[in-house]
Structure 1
Amino acid sequence: MLRQYELVERVRAYDPQADEDLLNRAYVFSMKAHGSQLRASGDPYFSHPIEVAGILTDLKLDDETIATGILHDTIEDTVATQEQIDKLFGPAVGRLVDGVTKLSKIEAQTESERAAENLRKFLLAMSDDIRVLLVKLADRLHNMRTLKHLKNPDKRRRIARETMDIYAPLAGRIGMYEFMDELNELAFRELEPEGHASVTARLERLRVGGGDVVSRITSGLKLLLAQNGVEADVWGREKQPLSIWRKMHADHKSFEALTDVMAFRVIVASPADCYRALGIIHQRWPAFVGRFKDFISAPKANGYRSLHTTVMHSGIGIEVQIRDAAMHREAELGLAAHWAYKSGNEGAAARESYPWLNDLLEILDHAATPEELLEHTRLAMFHDQVFVFTPKGELQQLPKGATPVDFAYLLHSEIGDTCVGARVNGRVVSLRTKLVNGDQVEILRSSIRAPDPAWESYVVTAKARAAVRRSARTRTRDAQLAMGRQLFDAAVARHGLPSDDATVNAALSGLKLADRNALYVALARQTVGDLALREALSPGSTEGAKRPRKVKPGAGAITIKGLAPGAAFTLGECCHPVPGDRIAGLSRPGMGVEVHGIDCATLADEPQDWLELAWDANSGGAVARVATVVYNQPGSLAAVASIIAQARGNIVGLALKHRDREFHTNIIDIEVEGLAQLTAITAALRGAPAVVSVERVKA
Structure 2
Amino acid sequence: MNSGIDALCTRLTDYLSPDQVAAIRRAYIFSEQAHSGQFRRNGDPYVTHPLAVANILCDMHMDHHSLMAAMLHDVIEDTGVSKETLAAEFGDEVTALVDGVTKLTQVHFSSKAEAQAENFRKMILAMTHDVRVIVVKLADRLHNMRTLDVLSVEKRKRVARETLDIYAPIAMRLGMNDIRIEYEELGFHAIWPMRAERIQHAVLAARGHRREMVISLEVAISERLARAGITARVEGREKHLFSIYQKMREKRRSFSEIMDVYGFRVIVDSVDTCYRGLGLMHNLYKPIPGKFKDYIAIPKTNGYQSLHTVLKGPRGVPIEVQLRSEAMDAMASSGIAAHWLYKSDGFTNTSQTRAREWMKSLQELQKNAGDSLEFIESVKIDLFPDEVYLFTPKGRIMTLPRGATPVDFAYAVHSDVGDTCVAARVDNRLAPLSLPLATGQTVEIITAPGARPNPSWLDFVITSKARAKIRHFLKDQQSDESRDLGLRLLEKSLSGLGVKYTELATGQVATLLKELGMASADTLLENIGMGNQVPQIIARRLVPEEDDIATPKLKRAARKGIAIRGTEGLVVSYARCCRPLPGDDINGHLSAGRGIVIHRHKCRNMASEIRSNPDKCVPLRWAEQVDREFLCQLRIALINRRGMLAEIAREATDSEASIDNVQIEEKGSHHGVMQLGLMVRDRIHLARVIKRIRVLPGVDKVTRVNA
Other-structure match for 1:9: 10
Counterpart residue identity of residue 223, structure 1? E
Counterpart residue identity of residue 523, structure 2? A
- Within 2, Cα distance between the matches of 1:682 and 1:97? 59
- Within 1, Cα distance between the matches of 2:135 and 2:94? 14
2:587 counterpart (649, 662, 686): 649
Tell me how far 1:198 sits from its aligned partner: 3.5
**Are positions 1:154 and 2:162 aligned together?**
no
**Are positions 1:245 and 2:259 aligned together?**
no
Cα separation, partners in 2 of 1:452 and 1:227, compared to 1, 3 Å: same
| Contact map agreement 1:630 1:692 (CA 8 A) in 2 | no
- Within 2, Cα distance between the matches of 1:270 and 1:486? 71
Tell me how far 1:676 sits from its aligned partner: 13
Counterpart residue identity of residue 61, structure 1? M
- Within 2, Cα distance between the matches of 1:535 and 1:643? 32
| Contact map agreement 1:99 1:122 (CA 8 A) in 2 | yes
Tell me how far 1:11 sits from its aligned partner: 1.5
Other-structure match for 1:76: 77
Matching of residues 379-418 of structure 1 within 5 Å: 379-418=381-420
Tell me how far 1:289 sits from its aligned partner: 3.2
- Within 2, Cα distance between the matches of 1:451 and 1:411? 15
Deviations 1:207-246 (A, max 9, x none): 2444565444434432333234322112224322222222
65-74 vs 508-517, greater mean Cα deviation: 508-517
- TM-score if structure 2 supplies the norm length? 0.76
Matching of residues 415-494 of structure 1 within 5 Å: 415-448=417-450, 450-494=452-496
Other-structure match for 2:45: 44
Other-structure match for 2:706: 698
| Contact map agreement 2:39 2:45 (CA 8 A) in 1 | yes
Q: For structure 1, which runs of at least 5 residues remain unmatched after alignment? A: 544-627, 658-665
Tell me how far 1:52 sits from its aligned partner: 0.7
Tell me how far 1:456 sits from its aligned partner: 1.7
Matching of residues 110-509 of structure 1 within 5 Å: 110-151=111-152, 153-211=153-211, 213-258=213-258, 262-314=262-314, 315-339=316-340, 354-448=356-450, 450-497=452-499, 499=501, 500=504, 501-509=506-514
- Within 1, Cα distance between the matches of 2:117 and 2:364? 15
Cα separation, partners in 2 of 1:26 and 1:677, compared to 1, 3 Å: closer
How many residues end up aligned between the 2 structures?
599
Secondary structure (helix, strand or coil) at the match of 2:496 reads helix
Secondary structure (helix, strand or coil) at the match of 1:13 reads coil
Other-structure match for 1:591: none
| Contact map agreement 2:389 2:399 (CA 8 A) in 1 | yes
Deviations 1:302-350 (A, max 9, x none): 22111112233344434222111111111111111113999xxx9xx95
- Within 2, Cα distance between the matches of 1:260 and 1:131? 40
- Within 1, Cα distance between the matches of 2:520 and 2:585? 29
311-320 vs 629-638, greater mean Cα deviation: 629-638
Matching of residues 587-598 of structure 1 within 5 Å: none
- Within 1, Cα distance between the matches of 2:631 and 2:170? 50
| Contact map agreement 1:388 1:438 (CA 8 A) in 2 | yes
Counterpart residue identity of residue 92, structure 1? E
Percent identity reads 37
Deviations 1:329-373 (A, max 9, x none): 11111111113999xxx9xx9577530111111111111233321
| Contact map agreement 2:587 2:598 (CA 8 A) in 1 | no
- Within 2, Cα distance between the matches of 1:671 and 1:260? 70
Cα separation, partners in 2 of 1:683 and 1:472, compared to 1, 3 Å: closer
Tell me how far 1:276 sits from its aligned partner: 2.0
| Contact map agreement 1:295 1:306 (CA 8 A) in 2 | yes
Cα separation, partners in 2 of 1:397 and 1:649, compared to 1, 3 Å: closer
Cα separation, partners in 2 of 1:107 and 1:200, compared to 1, 3 Å: same
Counterpart residue identity of residue 233, structure 1? R
Q: For structure 2, which runs of at least 5 residues remain unmatched after alignment? A: 549-562, 609-617, 633-703
- Within 2, Cα distance between the matches of 1:382 and 1:675? 44
Cα separation, partners in 2 of 1:366 and 1:179, compared to 1, 3 Å: same
Secondary structure (helix, strand or coil) at the match of 1:303 reads coil
Cα separation, partners in 2 of 1:648 and 1:531, compared to 1, 3 Å: farther
Cα separation, partners in 2 of 1:51 and 1:674, compared to 1, 3 Å: closer
Counterpart residue identity of residue 323, structure 1? R
Cα separation, partners in 2 of 1:104 and 1:396, compared to 1, 3 Å: same
Cα separation, partners in 2 of 1:159 and 1:541, compared to 1, 3 Å: farther
Cα separation, partners in 2 of 1:523 and 1:102, compared to 1, 3 Å: closer
Deviations 1:525-557 (A, max 9, x none): 4333355334423446799xxxxxxxxxxxxxx
Counterpart residue identity of residue 330, structure 1? M
Cα separation, partners in 2 of 1:249 and 1:288, compared to 1, 3 Å: farther
Deviations 1:113-172 (A, max 9, x none): 122211211111111111111111111100110011113x33222221221122111111
Deviations 1:381-440 (A, max 9, x none): 113222222333222211122222212211221221122223333444332233333333
Tell me how far 1:462 sits from its aligned partner: 0.9
- TM-score if structure 1 supplies the norm length? 0.77
Cα separation, partners in 2 of 1:36 and 1:683, compared to 1, 3 Å: closer
Other-structure match for 2:61: 60
Tell me how far 1:110 sits from its aligned partner: 1.8
374-383 vs 96-105, greater mean Cα deviation: 96-105
Cα separation, partners in 2 of 1:118 and 1:38, compared to 1, 3 Å: same
Tell me how far 1:674 sits from its aligned partner: 7.4
Other-structure match for 2:677: none
Other-structure match for 1:597: none
Tell me how far 1:5 sits from its aligned partner: 2.5
Other-structure match for 2:24: 23
Counterpart residue identity of residue 96, structure 1? L
Tell me how far 1:259 sits from its aligned partner: 6.6
Secondary structure (helix, strand or coil) at the match of 1:423 reads strand
Deviations 1:546-572 (A, max 9, x none): xxxxxxxxxxxxxxxxxxxxxxxxxxx
- Within 1, Cα distance between the matches of 2:224 and 2:524? 78
Secondary structure (helix, strand or coil) at the match of 1:165 reads helix
- Within 2, Cα distance between the matches of 1:452 and 1:141? 43
Secondary structure (helix, strand or coil) at the match of 1:649 reads strand
| Contact map agreement 1:127 1:350 (CA 8 A) in 2 | no
- Within 2, Cα distance between the matches of 1:60 and 1:376? 32
Secondary structure (helix, strand or coil) at the match of 1:19 reads helix
| Contact map agreement 1:531 1:542 (CA 8 A) in 2 | no
105-114 vs 464-473, greater mean Cα deviation: 105-114
Counterpart residue identity of residue 507, structure 2? A
Tell me how far 1:262 sits from its aligned partner: 4.6
Tell me how far 1:286 sits from its aligned partner: 3.4
Tell me how far 1:39 sits from its aligned partner: 0.4
Counterpart residue identity of residue 254, structure 2? S
Pairwise CA RMSD: 3.8
Tell me how far 1:633 sits from its aligned partner: 6.4
Counterpart residue identity of residue 385, structure 1? E
Other-structure match for 1:101: 102
- Within 2, Cα distance between the matches of 1:522 and 1:496? 23
629-638 vs 64-73, greater mean Cα deviation: 629-638
405-414 vs 47-56, greater mean Cα deviation: 405-414
